Amino acid sequence: MTQPRWLDQTEMAAWRAFLTTSHLLERRIEEQLKASAGLTHPQYEILVRLAGATGRRLRMTELAKGVVASKSALTYQVGRLEEVGLVERTTCPSDDRGVLAVLTPAGARLLEKVAPGHLEIVREYLIDRLSREELRAMTSAMRKTEEALRSG
Amino acid sequence: MTQPRWLDQTEMAAWRAFLTTSHLLERRIEEQLKASAGLTHPQYEILVRLAGATGRRLRMTELAKGVVASKSALTYQVGRLEEVGLVERTTCPSDDRGVLAVLTPAGARLLEKVAPGHLEIVREYLIDRLSREELRAMTSAMRKTEEALRSG
DNA sequence: GAGTTGCCGTTCAAATCTGAACAACCATCG
DNA sequence: CGATGGTTGTTCAGATTTGAACGGCAACTC
């Protein structure tokens, strides 16, 4: 442990901008999804992950890691999605402890319907405002942090 | 309304990296603050904003905008902080509707104690991993998005 | 100065998240 | 086989967030 190292003005500005913007964007996305499909952002992300998985199914634990949610939060949200027929649960054939969340055809249809409006928000407020250079730098930066956090 | 514009591979990678990383980092920060001071991240941010305000006090609405929280969430969290003596409430002298949240000396002391450990996390996982160029680009990018979201 | 409109912060019920505890299962080793 | 330790997903209670509704006050108009 060395001396406490504060952030200089530039670093603090960077951190504050990141923190504030991620929260604001999260809010905007939540609002759009709720209005257009009655989905929360976590629910939407679950559908996206399942749609991208082979067989449109994933183990609960994998899914939780993918969407960055706690196990119990995922159990809860998959329960909601199952109630409305967007996802089904199957016991994992290779591991009786396991549960597979499976995207239903209705889930896939809803996702196709909702995705454009969602991505339009992502474009409008983030992607389309960034230069190629900024996009590249941000991706690089985020990946470094992600990698570090996934390891620890 | 034009055609739906999907994100190309580079754009989607950028968005996914941002989304995932912000959630992972949020989790790590929450964990650190809880362990080191029993504070949640929203609570910590409230203390930070108050500490930086003139007179160490802010109107509830300003504070809510600053920390990007809903009015009711802020009411709740300020209530928690008041219970443990880190913040006090005062009625606003210039506007009887208003409430001023004021950082107490105990709140200031706790913040000084906790900030280094918190900032160490921010450094370790984000700031220290970024080149000066990445830091600059990320700040610029985040500010553009923040500005757009604050206007709408 | 009465009326109207809008802002301020709180309250409330409902939804969601958290973390610990738990039961069931897997894997390894002796 | 039997014991041990680790994993899996769920459950539960408690904490937090959300959004709408509300009462109180301010600001502006006529």
Q: Determine the number of helices (DSSP H) and then strands (DSSP E) in chain A.
A: 6, 3
pLDDT band per the 50, 70, 90 thresholds, residue B152? confident
pLDDT band per the 50, 70, 90 thresholds, residue B4? low
Q: Is A106 helix (H, G, I), strand (E, B) or coil?
A: helix
Q: What pLDDT does B6 receive?
A: 87
Interval B53-65: pLDDT, tens: 999 999 999 999 9
- DSSP secondary structure string, B55-124? GGEEEHHHHHHHHT--HHHHHHHHHHHHHTTSEEEEE-TT-TT-EEEEE-HHHHHHHHHHHHHHHHHHHH
Contact between B126 and A68 using a beta-carbon 8 Å cutoff: no
Q: What pLDDT does B5 receive?
A: 75
Query: CB under 8 Å to B69, separation ≥6 — which residues?
Result: B42, B77
Q: What pLDDT does B140 receive?
A: 96
Contact between B124 and A149 using a beta-carbon 8 Å cutoff: no
What one-character DSSP code corresponds to residue B126?
A: T
CA of B95 to C1' of C3 (A): 21
Please give, rounded to a whole number of angstroms, the shortest distance from the CA of A133 to a CA of chain B. Answer: 8
- The single residue listed with the structure tokens 């362990």 is B35
Nearest to B77 by CA among B54, B48, B56: B48
Is pLDDT above 70 for A53?
A: yes
Is pLDDT above 70 for A33?
A: yes
Q: What pLDDT does B1 receive?
A: 52
Nearest to B29 by CA among B150, B108, B123, B93: B123
Is pLDDT above 70 for B36?
A: yes
A chain contacts of residue B10, beta-carbon cutoff 8 Å: 135, 139
Between the alpha carbon of residue A88 and those of residues A85, A103, B51, the distances in Å are: 7, 6, 49
Task: Write out the two tokens for B88.
Answer: 């006090």
Is pLDDT above 60 for A11?
A: yes
Please give, rounded to a whole number of angstroms, the shortest distance from the CA of B1 to a CA of chain A. Answer: 11
Provide the percentage of residues in chain A whose pLDDT is more than 90.
Answer: 95
Task: Write out the two tokens for B98.
Answer: 């208003």
Nearest to B24 by CA among A109, A118, A108, A65: A65
Query: Domains, chain A, ranges and CATH?
Result: 29-151 (1.10.10.10)
